[in-house]
Amino acid sequence: MIIKKLSDVPPVSMPGYDQVKKQIVIGPDDGSEEIVLRYFRLEPGGASPHHTHDFPHLVKIESGTGTVLDEAGHERPLQQGDYIYIADNEVHQFKNTASEPFNFICIVPKRGEG
């Protein structure tokens, strides 16, 4: 069994992700051979690229407000307590639309964090 606090995991910047930090909270280094639990912090004005992956995402908004942009360019508002499922190859982009940090948990298969 592994028990961690978010503060135990150093945040890292991501190339191509404006004002975004990522922490791998639980992953292969902890013995998780199938899934990876990641924590993202988007600073005000921060955003991920408008992109896609060949793996699904499970997302839970922890704090702040933002949007998720779909393939057609429609923005849907997000706030604390929202849950999102992003299917394989579904185009998406997360954006912080507020003056406070926008934080969320993102769970992916191990191949999504390689």
Q: What is the pLDDT of residue 80?
A: 97
Q: What is the pLDDT of residue 42?
A: 97
Per-residue 3-state assignment (H helix, E strand, C coil) for the chain: CCCCCHHHCCCEECCCCEEEEEEEEECHHHCCCCEEEEEEEEEEEEECCCECCCCCEEEEEEECEEEEECCCCCEEEEECCCEEEECCCCCEEEEECCCCCEEEEEEEEHHHHC
Tens digits of per-residue pLDDT, 6-44? Answer: 999 999 998 888 899 999 999 999 999 999 999 999 999
- Entry pTM: 0.94
Average pLDDT over residues 54-67: 97
Share of the chain above pLDDT 70, in %: 99
Asked if the model's pLDDT at residue 56 lies above 90, the reply is yes
Confirm if 100 and 79 have CB atoms less than 8 A apart. no
* Average confidence score pLDDT of the chain: 95
Q: What is the pLDDT of residue 15?
A: 84
Q: What is the pLDDT of residue 35?
A: 97
Average pLDDT over residues 59-85: 96
Q: What is the pLDDT of residue 52?
A: 93
